[in-house]
Each structure stands twice: as C-alpha cells, then as structure tokens.
C-alpha cells in the first residue's frame, strides 16, 4: 500500500510538471498614461491593447499587411467615395453588449468630431458621413478618394469602442478582442485574461500580465532571473549577446516603424531659421548615436520614412556629418557665438542615451543644451501638446506617418503649403507608380527643409523564453499582439 501511494504521488507530480503553461508575463519599457487608444498619442497604450483588447474594421499583421478585422469584407464604389463594410456576425463586447454597425458609427463619429481628442483625427476628417445600412453593414462616404483609408482604419486610433463603457474607458477599457482587461496596478502592471466568448480563434494564453520596467539594468536583471517570460522592445541592446549565448532564451531581432528624430520646434527661434536647422543636421553623427546609444542596432535615415518600405529614398547624403559646415551655417544665421536651447527627453533609452551623445555633438559646434528628463505623461503634456520645447528626441512608431508633416499644428509646427498640397494629392491617388513618385517628392521636401534631425530607424529586439512561439518579430505598428502566442512545452 505505501508503495502504491508513492507511485500515485509520483505520477501526479509528473503530470503537473508536464502541464502546459497558459499564462505569460511580458515586460515593456513604457507604461500607458491611460487606456483609451482613441484619445492620446501615446503608443504605449497600443502596445498593451491593440489586437488584444481592442479591434478595428481592419488590422495590421506582423508583416504590415492590412487584413480584415471586425469587417469581414468591403466594397469600394467606382468613384472611390464610398466604402461599404460587411461586419463579422456574432461579435460581443467584453461587457456582454452586442457589436453592430451602430458601434462603428459611434466610434468613427467620435474620432472625427469637432471636439475629438483623437491624436490622428486628421486621418478621418475626410469621412463626411457614416451610415448604418443594417446591423451588419456600414457605409463610409468620403469628400475625396482616399487611397489610405483601409490603412488608416487599421490604426489603434480607429478601434471600435463600446458606447456603454465610454465613460470609464481610460481606466476600464471594453473591447471585442481575444483578451479582456482585468486589472491595472499603476506603476507596475496590467493584467488581461482570455475572452472566453471571443468571436474569432481562441488564444492559447489564459492570462497575460504586462510588466513595466523602464530601467535597462532592471530589465536585464528581471529577464536573466526569469521573473518575466519575455521583454518586447528590450531596452539594453548591449546585453543581447549574453542572451544569445544562454539556451534558456531566444533573441528576436526585428525592425519597427520607429523613425527616431531630433525634433525641432520650427516656430520657436532659432529653429524657425532653416540655416539653423541645417546646422543642427550637419552637427549630428548618426552612426555615433546608433553605436553609442543602441550598440549598433538601427539604420540611419535622412527623412521621415521607414527604410524597409519599397518607396523609401535614401537621403542621408543631403545632410552628412560635417561640424565645420555646421559652424559656418550658424555664423551665416547670425549665431557666431552659438546659442542655448532646451533638450527635453522622454524615458526610452534611445532618447536618454542618445540625448547625451547629441548634446555633446551640438556642444562641439557651439549649441548648448539644457537637458530635462521627463516622464512619458509629462512629455505628452509639455512637449507634444504644449509645444514647450526647443529640441526633443522621440521615435515615431506609427506606420506610414509622413503625413504628420502636413499638419501645421503638429508639435514640431512645420508649415509648408507645397508639402500639404502634395500630401492631399497622394491621398487622392491610387495608381502605384504615381504614389511612388509623390512619396519620393514628399520625403525629399522635408529632408531639404531639414524640418527635424533625422537619426535612425528604431530596431525592435525581443528577448523571450526559448519555449515561446508566436511573438511578433517585427513591429509594423506599436503593438504586442498575443493572440497567437503559446508555450511549446
């Protein structure tokens, strides 16, 4: 009898040891300021919620392709002014309310409303009317043809929200996705749980906890101790070789849509002077920043466009590193003795580490910087909304976002009617050859205007437990899609 009990216990222990793990703890560097992706510019919100909690009519895949989301299909009128979407049936929000065309109308009308705080409101202003045809059919009418509409509807800013839950969306988001919001321990973590009533393919994970670790040293320690299962966008690239050599881990080296720029306030002296902006551009050694701040991870850029895009034009040669040229331009601009400006840095390591390197490079040509380190919410309020800055460093992780240069009220305040007109022409153009030509012109205009200091395309390294499958390698949008993630043993 004792032997039989011992054997049974051993079998039970063995079964437990082989049980498939279904929970995940994944770390990110930035914590969202709140949880409404439709009313803030913070990509950290999408990093947690996109395709996990919230869904749109269309969505991005890991490759950047646009595929159906809550819309099963769509028809486009011959004149390009009407898009009719057929919605997926049997979809419910996490609060149990049904999803239908009225919710689409509510969400898109809210995004484009006069008092909308949607960070990408301009993308949806061309929609003149959203019409409910029937519960599973909705029609969007445009004032002009928009070749980017399906792309724009895939952004996190265009997800469909529940009208019944809108008052509490910033702290208790309700979507239609494969995971439901469970808990937010501010300053620490956000927990999602599997949506057992999900309309699509059920995820393997039953629970996912997003931990927020801003310090690169702490990120390395937590990963090495296996206190976390993965870190998406690992912030300490100098440590990647250590994880490569450890069989417990896998390192995924991907690319992102993150154009990292030294943004200049184009309406604030002295950066309202094109010669000063050009001087700043020549003072910057892109490769030294990539090597010093990112340990070699990153691709130099000369304009605001992703190098992996087939329409990318390499314009790095327009503003090469040339400190002597920078000093001459400052003399010609009336700043022979240089000047002092602010350099306000958000938390990511590319900004904090890169900021120190850039400050030294600018100092070498006579430009002194007063560095202020800001938390993400402070940066959004002070720099992005308040436009109270001279210089700042940020990576724009939104896909295909060169259109921000057509918005004079955007935080760096670039106002060029020629660019604005060409962007409007691009939006109304569907021919691929014509679009490629226009995109080349747009890239060249902002590069020649030296609107910002174009630094590098942000790499996207992820460190994860070797047993995990389904994590995105690349980041075509700022998202941590867990719908296909699973443990292999």
Which of 258, 352, 357 lies closest to 299, judged by CA?
Answer: 258
pLDDT tens digits for range 160-175: 999 999 999 999 999 9
In terms of domains, do 263 and 382 share one? yes
Tell whether 6 is covered by a domain.
no
Tokens of 130: 């959203």
Separation between Cα atoms, residue 421 and residue 19, nearest integer Å: 60
Separation between Cα atoms, residue 385 and residue 410, nearest integer Å: 9
Residues 6+ apart with CB under 8 A from 77: 83, 84
pLDDT tens digits for range 104-150: 999 999 999 989 988 888 889 899 999 999 999 999 999 988 888 99
Separation between Cα atoms, residue 198 and residue 207, nearest integer Å: 14
In terms of domains, do 106 and 75 share one? yes
- 171 close to 184: Cβ distance less than 8 angstroms: yes
Domain count, the chain: 2
Domain interval for residue 208 = 20-248+466-488
* CA distance to 2, 46, 89, 230, 240, per residue, from 49 (Å): 52, 5, 22, 17, 27
**What pLDDT does 1 receive?**
39
In terms of domains, do 212 and 117 share one? yes
SS (H, E, C) 280-319: HHHHCCHHHHHHHHHCCCCEECCCCCCCCCCCCCCCHHHC
Tell whether 13 is covered by a domain.
no
In terms of domains, do 104 and 239 share one? yes
SS (H, E, C) 403-457: HHHHCCCCCCCCCCHHHHHHHHHHHCCCCHHHHHHHHHHHHHHHHHCCCCEEEEE
- CATH code: domain of residue 392: 3.10.105.10
Task: Grade residue 2 by pLDDT with cuts at 50, 70 and 90.
Answer: very low
**What pLDDT does 196 receive?**
96
Separation between Cα atoms, residue 314 and residue 457, nearest integer Å: 12
- 328 close to 278: Cβ distance less than 8 angstroms: no
Alpha-carbon dihedral sign for residues 110, 112, 117, 119:
positive
Mean model confidence pLDDT for the chain: 93
Q: State yes or no: pLDDT of 17 exceeds 50.
A: no
Which of 408, 463, 114 lies closest to 297, judged by CA?
Answer: 463
Task: Grade residue 15 by pLDDT with cuts at 50, 70 and 90.
Answer: very low
In terms of domains, do 108 and 204 share one? yes
Tell whether 321 is covered by a domain.
yes
**What pLDDT does 377 receive?**
86
Distance of CA 418 to the CA centre of its chain: 27
In terms of domains, do 203 and 265 share one? no
- 469 close to 485: Cβ distance less than 8 angstroms: yes
Which of 163, 171, 167, 164 lies closest to 49, judged by CA?
Answer: 171
DSSP-H helix ranges across 306-369: 323-332, 349-363
pLDDT tens digits for range 63-99: 888 999 999 999 999 999 999 999 999 999 999 999 9
In terms of domains, do 471 and 451 share one? no
Separation between Cα atoms, residue 328 and residue 297, nearest integer Å: 32
Separation between Cα atoms, residue 427 and residue 430, nearest integer Å: 8
Which of 354, 31, 51, 345 lies closest to 175, judged by CA?
Answer: 51
The percentage of residues in the chain with a pLDDT greater than 90, rounded to a whole number, is: 83
In terms of domains, do 238 and 329 share one? no
In terms of domains, do 343 and 205 share one? no
- CATH code: domain of residue 124: 3.40.190.10
Separation between Cα atoms, residue 265 and residue 8, nearest integer Å: 71
Separation between Cα atoms, residue 409 and residue 327, nearest integer Å: 30
Task: Grade residue 8 by pLDDT with cuts at 50, 70 and 90.
Answer: very low
Which of 1, 151, 146 lies closest to 64, judged by CA?
Answer: 151
**What pLDDT does 18 receive?**
52
Please compute the mean of the pLDDT values over residues 188-210 and round it to a whole number.
Answer: 97
Tell the residue number behind the tokens 């010093």, with chain if given. 292
In terms of domains, do 423 and 474 share one? no
Q: State yes or no: pLDDT of 6 exceeds 70.
A: no
């Amino acid at each position: 009898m004792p032997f039989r009990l011992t054997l049974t216990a051993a079998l039970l222990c063995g079964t437990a040891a082989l049980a498939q793990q279904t929970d995940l703890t994944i770390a990110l560097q930035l914590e969202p300021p709140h949880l409404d992706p439709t009313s803030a510019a913070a990509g950290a919100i999408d990093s947690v919620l996109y395709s996990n909690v919230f869904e749109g009519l269309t969505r991005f895949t890991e490759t950047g392709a646009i595929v159906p989301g809550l819309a099963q299909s769509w028809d486009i009128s011959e004149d390009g002014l009407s898009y009719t979407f057929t919605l997926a049936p049997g979809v419910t929000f996490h609060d149990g309310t049904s999803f239908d065309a009225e919710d689409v109308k509510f969400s898109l009308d809210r995004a484009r409303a006069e008092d909308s705080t949607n960070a990408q409101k301009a993308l949806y202003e061309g929609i003149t009317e959203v019409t409910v045809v029937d519960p599973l059919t909705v029609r969007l009418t445009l004032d002009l043809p928009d070749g980017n509409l399906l792309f724009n509807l895939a952004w996190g800013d265009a997800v469909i929200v529940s009208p019944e839950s809108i008052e509490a969306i910033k702290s208790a988001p309700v979507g239609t996705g494969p995971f439901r919001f469970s808990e937010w321990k501010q300053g620490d973590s956000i927990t999602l749980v599997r949506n057992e009533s999900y309309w699509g393919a059920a995820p393997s994970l039953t629970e996912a906890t997003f931990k927020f670790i801003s310090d690169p040293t702490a990120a390395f320690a937590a990963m090495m101790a296996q206190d976390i299962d993965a870190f998406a966008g690992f912030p300490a690239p100098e440590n990647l070789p250590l994880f490569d050599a450890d069989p417990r881990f896998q390192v995924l080296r991907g690319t992102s849509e993150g154009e990292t720029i030294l943004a200049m306030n184009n309406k604030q002296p002295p950066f309202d002077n094109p010669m000063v902006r050009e001087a700043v551009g020549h003072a910057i050694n892109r490769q030294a920043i990539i090597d010093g701040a990112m340990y070699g991870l990153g691709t130099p850029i000369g304009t605001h466009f992703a190098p992996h895009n087939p329409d990318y034009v390499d314009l790095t040669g327009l503003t090469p590193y040339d400190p002597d040229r920078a000093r001459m331009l400052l003399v010609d601009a009336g700043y022979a003795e240089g000047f002092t400006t602010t350099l306000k840095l958000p938390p990511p390591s590319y900004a904090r580490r890169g900021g120190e390197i850039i400050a030294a490079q600018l100092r070498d040509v006579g430009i002194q910087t007063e560095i202020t380190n800001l938390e993400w919410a402070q940066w959004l309020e002070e720099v992005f909304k308040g436009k109270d800055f001279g210089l700042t460093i940020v990576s724009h992780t939104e896909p295909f976002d060169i259109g921000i240069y057509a918005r004079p009220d955007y935080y760096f305040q670039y106002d060029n009617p020629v660019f604005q007109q060409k962007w409007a022409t691009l939006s109304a153009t569907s021919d691929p050859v014509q679009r490629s030509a226009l995109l080349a012109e747009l890239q060249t205009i902002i590069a020649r205007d030296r609107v910002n200091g174009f630094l590098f395309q942000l790499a996207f390294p992820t460190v994860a437990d070797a047993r995990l499958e389904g994590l995105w390698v690349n980041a075509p949008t700022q998202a941590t899609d867990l719908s296909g993630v699973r443990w292999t043993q």
